Amino acid sequence: MKRISLMRNTVQEYAWGSYTAIAELLGNVSPAKVPQAELWMGAHPKAPSMVKCDGNWKSLLELIEKNPQDILGEKVAEKFDNSLPYLFKVLAAAKPLSIQAHPSRDQAKQGFERENRQGIPIDAYNRNYKDDNHKPECICALTLFWALNGFRKISGILTLMEKICPQGLRKELDNLRGQPNSIGLKNLFQSLMTMNRKRQKQVIADAISNAQKFTDDDKAYKWMIDLHKKYPADIGVFSPILLNLICLEPCQAMFLTAGEPHAYLDGVGIELMANSDNVLRGGLTPKYIDVPELLNVLNFKERELNILGTEQINECECLYASHAEEFVLSIISVKEDIIYNSSSDRSIEILLCTDGKATIIDLGKNDKVVVDRGKSIIIPAIVKKYSIQGNAIFYKAAVPF
């Protein structure tokens, strides 16, 4: 594959997905018959994109295996063992996703090898590690996007908890107050996750009853009540109290590192991550939860949550500060009188058009591809420079140099 090419991507149908968001973006019938949660763009073995190549649709994974240097570029092919290092997604959450965290690279390798030795099938219900890679990720909002990310300041957790669990968790809160550090935070979380079902049920009931009195004081209480309606017996309903609650405005983004507990609650966003599907879950899900492994992976440091900063690269492109070696996300906006010209120092890029219509031109061969809303293209590294002309907005996935 030596040309700019259109892509055809897999839609993942999960119960928390939207019936309308992805269908409307792709120009398909809306509402869809089943909830559509994620659109995957990339070369993950679970669902590799198909690429229009010489008039036929071919697997991007197979194309890269046959000709990695032309597609990925020499630097990327060498650094990432002839594989595409990122996975690009549209994520549409109509219901909250599970409380979860992702492993570090070392944890993923060890976990993957361990579960292979144990003979656990890759698609088994109780499989934690689907591959041996870590999964740092960036989420950028297309709509208002509610999420949880990282543990709150311990002082904030105590303040919020005191209002709703003054007696039910007295011992646990006193312990955290006496040990306001990572160890105390881990002990509180572990106590919640491992307490017997009967006590969990009583603690949740008391907390929800009290939270209803304070919904005007903090949105965390409102989200706690909303989560309880969907998962009435799940200790994960405490997550808006324990974790930082954030609402991203369109075009705002945040970054998630290994071990950070998080959940996406509602909204549509662009997600870019290392090419992995490893998830350790802690609640708000019917899927497999492995508490000991989650405790082993989680980062129990309190922190403040910051919006990901951006850098204006040129008149058309705004780049989100990358904290990962595998990927970097940017937004490209073109108008009739403002043309985007790519850098010549580039590797493999995937572009998704979220609004408008434009023509992408290979400046070396004068090949042209017309792209409108919902269409994605792949630009292999062998294409030295290209331009975008028209009136459109693109999200671009690339590898940082």
What confidence tens digit (pLDDT) does each residue in 212-243 have? Answer: 999 999 999 999 999 999 999 899 999 999 99
Q: What is the pLDDT of residue 398?
A: 97
Give the number of other CB atoms < 10 A from CB of residue 51. 25
Number of H helices, E strands in the chain: 12, 21
* Mean pLDDT in residue range 12-26: 96
Nearest to 376 by CA among 51, 85, 72: 51
The yes or no reply on domain 310-398 and CATH 3.40.47.10 is: no
Sign of CA dihedral 102, 103, 105, 111: negative
CATH match for 10-68+86-148+248-283 among 2.60.120.10, 1.20.140.10, 3.90.1150.10, 3.30.1490.20:
2.60.120.10
How far is residue 221's CA from residue 214's CA, in Å, rounded to a whole number? 7
Band of pLDDT at residue 265, cut at 50, 70 and 90: very high
Decide whether 10-68+86-148+248-283 matches 310-398 in CATH topology. yes
Question: Which of 105, 170, 177, 281 is an active site residue?
Answer: 281
Contact 269, 145 (CB under 8 A): yes
| Mean pLDDT computed over every residue of the chain | 95
Predicted TM-score (pTM) of the model is 0.93
Residue-wise pLDDT for 325-380, tens only, equals 999 999 999 999 999 999 988 999 999 999 999 999 999 988 999 999 999 999 99
Examine the residue annotation and report whether 197 is marked as an active-site residue of this protein: no
Question: What residue ranges do the domains of the chain occupy?
Answer: 10-68+86-148+248-283, 155-242, 310-398
* Mean pLDDT in residue range 104-124: 95
Q: What is the pLDDT of residue 198?
A: 93
* CB-side neighbour CA atoms (13 Å) of 360: 26
The yes or no reply on domain 155-242 and CATH 1.10.441.10 is: yes
Band of pLDDT at residue 275, cut at 50, 70 and 90: confident
Band of pLDDT at residue 54, cut at 50, 70 and 90: confident
| pLDDT above 90 for 277 | no
Angle at 363 between CA 274 and CA 338, to 5 degrees: 80
Band of pLDDT at residue 189, cut at 50, 70 and 90: very high
